Chain A
Amino acid sequence: MSNWLEKHLPKIVLGPSLFAIILFVYGFIAWTAWISFTKSRLMPKYDIVGFIQYSRLFDSPRWEVAIDNLFIFGFLFILISMFLGLLIAIFLDQKIRVEGALRTIYLYPMALSLIVTGTAWKWILNPGLGLESVVKSWGFTDFTFDWVINPDFAIYTVVIAGVWQASGFVMALFLAGLRSVDQEIIKAAQVDGVPTFKIYTAIIIPSMAPIFLSAFIVLAHLAIKSFDLVIALTGGGPGYATDLPATYMYTMAFSRGDIGQAASSAIIMMLVVFAVVVPYLYSELRNKNDQ
């Protein structure tokens, strides 16, 4: 008996987690997917009626705004964070005396809740008392900076705050990547007289392709899941000008009582995440199995 137990203990230990993951991740996904094909409103119904929720979703102007915003936000957020992260990483890689302290400063936003970040930036971007009035007080009396309440520009304030939060993290990734490049290759290039700038563009950066991919995946993932930041910064407003799929889903689920819409928007979100993550995970796992 004790031999049997000893032999199967690894499986027994993993069992509850496996059960939980299957039920609470995969089971729940299945449930949400099922509901997205029904006429559920306030209460779930289980008769499948086809793509009714999805056609409602894509007919909805509010969802259209959310998707547009996701693309604007996602594109700018990823691009600027990557650029800024790489730039700072390269700057920090130049034997900077206070590197440790600088790194700490660049990275601390990552420790904050997005609600805190949103709250702080909401105050800084406040048109009456924030940055706008500061610049005005410097003598630029015509200066206006009211993006946070301007429906056409509010989404860009989300980008500003998002970049502030995440770019330090991208910097840390890139810095680790820069440091892991084979020093002998760099020495060889220096001996060959390759200028520093060229060493970065021709040798170091191309060798960091996997880190670019990792950074992209993490940022894309953050962008798609973005919820807290929008809630705290703009509340999705003005109107629904800064809605993202995540806030749309939440509104449908918990304020509008439209479970069908919530489910179908959640499924779309998941598909977008999978489109980004699955190829990455697949290649990662395959590499690991090869070893």
Chain B
Amino acid sequence: MINNNYKINYTNVILRMLLYFFLSVFVLYYLLPLFVMVTTSLKSLEEIRTGSLVALPRNITFEAWGTAWSSACTGIQCEGLKPYFWNSILIAIPAVFISTLIGALNGYVVAQWRFKGANIIFALMLFGCFIPFQVVLLPMARVLGLMDLAGSIIGLIFVHVIYGIGFTTLFFRNYYVNIPSELVKAAKMDGATFLRIFWSIFLPLSLPIIVVTIIWQFTQIWNDFLFGVSFSEAGTQPITVALNNIVNSTTGVKEYNVDMAAAIIAAMPTLLVYIFAGKYFIRGLTAGSVKG
């Protein structure tokens, strides 16, 4: 931050006003879609057709929300988002938990128990984070079929765990690598074993990175569309797929208010996480991309 201690002069006042003006314009740009989503979802179809996109609703109605939650059509079924919301929860919770646990143990080994080849294994994992998933879609579809997991919730959990390990390992590795290796040495001298050191010393230290990892994984998995659309079937689709189906279903009248309500419902969990744990969310975002 540049520290300016100018005396008040007019150029500076004007510059400062311009600065706030631009920042406000950006605020409008970023808030506009959210504003439009919320207001549209609270309007009736009639009001949408006759009124303006950016106008506040004249008569607030929650009808569209009810429809989106329990009776909007995702293709031939018309049960709303509710079942798919639960699908996403059923997928996300175990997948987040398992991939975080594996990542913690992996990161602990890679950062603190180096053995010959550990670096190569880590590089292989890191590399796996960057592949475009299109390149594994076809074989994964076949393997899920072979394992009798095609189109199942368990299959999707499995896929999310496998392709989440790289990132979770990276997170924990980068966190543990900053803990002095003398800690493990001291614990070894005290007679503690590999798992004991992890359990008694490293895990209690790890709360911040556990939160970061859980939030990152939850956001990724909740917002995933590619795996969801590729590996699910009618009853097991996650919420993003269902949302897309509602919005793009061609039957009946286009109900923009329902679309927007559905979009907000789908966005709600990750948005809440962002609002209440934004600090950790941002740390996760930057952890993968900035050296650390």
User: What is the distance, in angstroms, from A148's C-beta to the closest C-beta of chain B?
Assistant: 13
Chief secondary structure at chain B's binding surface: helix
Assuming the contacts A113-B267, A120-B36, A273-B131, asked whether A172 and B286 have C-beta atoms less than 8 A apart, the reply is yes
One of A10, A172, A196, A259 near B113 (C-beta < 8 A): A10
Q: Is the beta-carbon distance between B136 and A284 smaller than 8 angstroms?
A: no
Assuming the contacts A17-B165, A116-B266, asked whether A24 and B136 have C-beta atoms less than 8 A apart, the reply is yes
Q: Is the beta-carbon distance between B53 and A120 smaller than 8 angstroms?
A: no
The size of the chain B interface, using a CB distance under 8 A, is 97
Q: Is the beta-carbon distance between B225 and A113 smaller than 8 angstroms?
A: yes
Q: Is the beta-carbon distance between B132 and A218 smaller than 8 angstroms?
A: no
Q: Is the beta-carbon distance between A123 and B125 smaller than 8 angstroms?
A: no
Q: Which residues from chain A contact B3 at a C-beta distance below 8 Å? A: 187, 190
Q: Is the beta-carbon distance between B138 and A266 smaller than 8 angstroms?
A: yes
One of B32, B193, B225 near A115 (C-beta < 8 A): B225
* B211 on interface, CB distance cutoff 8 Å: no
Assuming the contacts A115-B266, A250-B230, asked whether A176 and B2 have C-beta atoms less than 8 A apart, the reply is no
Contacts of A250-291 to chain B: CB distance below 8 A? 250, 253-254, 259, 262-263, 265-267, 269-270, 273-274, 277, 281, 284-285, 287, 289
Q: Which residues from chain A contact B266 at a C-beta distance below 8 Å? A: 113, 115-116
Q: Is the beta-carbon distance between A25 and B128 smaller than 8 angstroms?
A: yes
User: What is the distance, in angstroms, from A136's C-beta to the closest C-beta of chain B?
Assistant: 10
Q: Which residues from chain B contact A116 at a C-beta distance below 8 Å? A: 240, 243, 263-264, 266-267
Q: Is the beta-carbon distance between B139 and A28 smaller than 8 angstroms?
A: yes
Q: Is the beta-carbon distance between B113 and A168 smaller than 8 angstroms?
A: no
Q: Which residues from chain A contact B140 at a C-beta distance below 8 Å? A: 24, 28
Q: Is the beta-carbon distance between B110 and A110 smaller than 8 angstroms?
A: no
Instruction: Give a binary string over A156-172; 1 marks a CB under 8 Å from any B CB, 0 the rest.
Output: 00000000100011001
Residue of B nearest to A112 (CB): B267
* Cα of A280 to Cα of B223 in the assembled complex, Å: 27
* A21 on interface, CB distance cutoff 8 Å: yes
Residue of A nearest to B103 (CB): A17
Which of A51-59, A60-68, A71-79, A100-108 interfaces with chain B? A100-108
Q: Is the beta-carbon distance between A32 and B135 smaller than 8 angstroms?
A: yes
Instruction: Give a binary string over B261-287; 1 marks a CB under 8 Å from any A CB, 0 the rest.
Output: 011101100110111001001100110
The size of the chain A interface, using a CB distance under 8 A, is 107
Instruction: Give a binary string over A241-254; 1 marks a CB under 8 Å from any B CB, 0 the rest.
Output: 00001100110011
* Cα of A88 to Cα of B124 in the assembled complex, Å: 36
* B10 on interface, CB distance cutoff 8 Å: no
Interface residues of B (CB under 8 A from A): 1-4, 19-20, 22-23, 26-27, 29-34, 36-37, 40, 48-49, 52-54, 102, 105-106, 109-110, 113, 115, 118-119, 121, 123-128, 130-143, 162-163, 165-166, 169, 193-195, 219, 222-226, 229-230, 240, 243-244, 247-248, 256, 259-260, 262-264, 266-267, 270-271, 273-275, 278, 281-282, 285-286, 288-291
What are 27 A-B residue pairs whose CB atoms fall within 8 Å in the complex?
A: A6-B194, A16-B102, A24-B162, A25-B124, A32-B135, A91-B19, A102-B23, A105-B27, A110-B285, A112-B271, A113-B266, A115-B266, A119-B243, A119-B263, A120-B263, A123-B40, A124-B33, A164-B29, A172-B285, A173-B289, A190-B3, A199-B2, A217-B289, A254-B230, A262-B138, A269-B134, A285-B126
